Amino acid sequence: MDTLQGEVGVRVARPGETLRTLDGVDRELAPDTLLITDERGP
């Protein structure tokens, strides 16, 4: 929990939104992907 900033939220991905995974690859998310986010993003 030390790495979270601000409130935690749950939402679906926006069209064209990307996420950098642990292997360093930027992946485009499907619009129906459920995300858990903080103030910095997913």
Q: Which helix (H) or strand (E) holds 26?
A: strand 26-28
Q: Which range of residues forms the domain containing residue 1?
A: 1-42
Per-residue pLDDT of the chain (42 residues; tens, 9 = 90+): 567 667 888 999 999 999 999 999 999 999 999 998 887 765
pTM: 0.62
Q: What is the pLDDT of residue 3?
A: 73
Q: Domain count of the chain?
A: 1
Q: What is the pLDDT of residue 1?
A: 52
- Measuring CA to CA, how many Å separate 34 from each of 2, 11, 17, 25? 23, 6, 12, 19
